[in-house]
Amino acid sequence: MTLLDKFKPLEEARDKLRALGTYPFGVTIEKILSPTEAVIHGRKVILAGTNNYLGLTFHPECIAAAIQALKEQGCGTTGSRMANGNYADHLALEREFAEFYRKPFCVVFSTGYQANLALLSTLAGAGDVILLDADCHASIYDGCRLSQAEVIRFRHNDVEDLKKRLRRLGERAARTLIVVEGIYSMLGDMAPLKEIAALKQEYGAYLMVDEAHSLGVLGEYGRGLVEATGVEDQADFIVGTFSKSLGGIGGFCVSAHRELDVLRYAARPYIFTASSSPAAIAATRVALRLLRDGTELRARLWQHARRFRQGLENLGLKLGPILSPVVAILLGESREQALFIWHQLLSRGVYVNLVMPPATPDARCLLRCSLSAAHSDQQIDRCLEVFAEVFSAYGSA
């Protein structure tokens, strides 16, 4: 065995998929036309798998703010927040996020992934416990690995299983961080947050909620599942990303605990990463305002989600458990059939995400769609027409 031999099985699996046709992982967007359209393989396609929930990537005010910041502050900071990369706009965005969530403290990170790495690797340490939902994102698992805490998984969205594990911890519950997500990215289902928050209160634990896919989507003002379920005061740490509803890149955490501000001096993903570019921060500041005031955008997003899901149900497809802007079409275990169906959709002008194990919650493959407020009714109808064509011809192939 050599250092690199471990990659041979992965390489063989990749080459086998490529041999079947268009490779789905790392599709090249040759030209982006709008929040909902692009050119792939030389033809125009509808983008139905981008997480661009509010469609803000082309908003003229966001673009104008980014251009102005680019002209005035340059392309990048060339340093971390702890060195020369702590610009006034970074601090302004932190204040605005804190005000948005009505929390006294906020830290902004370069990506949402780094936000989870920073929080989990720093909040919990040796002797502490992290109780996480089994379906949490890879960034959460990676942060747990860095933490040196004891990591215990509970069954996905199973309040009774969580309660059993908290009860077993006894006095250690006071040194326990419960980690869940608002909307889970694969199936589009949501944490039973009200019940989880009640358990957190009962056992004296701490609660961290990742609102990556629910920021801008849930709640009257778009503050996510914590707002929609009325548990904002029970959530000790709320984490999110700029790369979904805000249409940019970056991450954040807000909290009522003053220790979050002190975390800056201990979190390695914050200390040793170059800070976000001025253009990204400027665009996000505008996007946050649009998100907060985006009641109409959220209404349109949910209208599209209902329309699309109903259409897929009418086709007899097996879908994720609840209505959500994330719509999962559950397939079988055959990777070849899943890849074939995905390719047929793309060749007819509809791009969605193909997800295979181990990224899926079980052994099945799935097609992951995400709706946007920027989609038109005509685009939704066209997507449904393409799904009908493909699954009627190849769904049982």
CA–centroid distance for 84 within its chain:
29
Question: Known catalytic residue: 213?
Answer: yes
Q: Would you say 275 and 81 are in contact if contact means Cβ atoms under 8 Å apart?
A: yes
HSE at residue 212, side-chain half, CA atoms within 13 A, is: 25
Which is catalytic among the residues 121, 185, 214, 324? 185
Question: Known catalytic residue: 396?
Answer: no
With a CB cutoff of 8 Å and minimum separation 6, the contacts of 319 are: 309, 312, 313, 327, 328, 329, 330
Which is catalytic among the residues 244, 304, 343, 375? 244
HSE at residue 173, side-chain half, CA atoms within 13 A, is: 17
Would you call 179 helix, strand, or coil by DSSP? strand
Which is catalytic among the residues 59, 103, 200, 213? 213
Q: What b/e readout covers 350-384, taking b as 16+ CB neighbours within 10 angstroms?
A: bbbbbbbeeebbeebbbbbbbbbbbbeeebbebbb
Tell me what percent of the chain is helix, strand and coil, each rounded to the nearest 5. Answer: 45, 20, 40
Question: Which strand ranges, in their side-by-side order, compose the sheet holding 237-241?
Answer: 105-109, 251-255, 237-241, 206-210, 176-181, 129-133, 150-154
What residue type is assigned to position 126 of the chain? Answer: A
Cα separation of 116 and 144, whole Å?
9
Question: Known catalytic residue: 16?
Answer: no
**Which ranges of 315-368 does DSSP label H, i.e. alpha helix?**
335-347
Helix or strand run (H / E) with residue 203: helix 193-203
Active site amino acids: 185, 213, 244
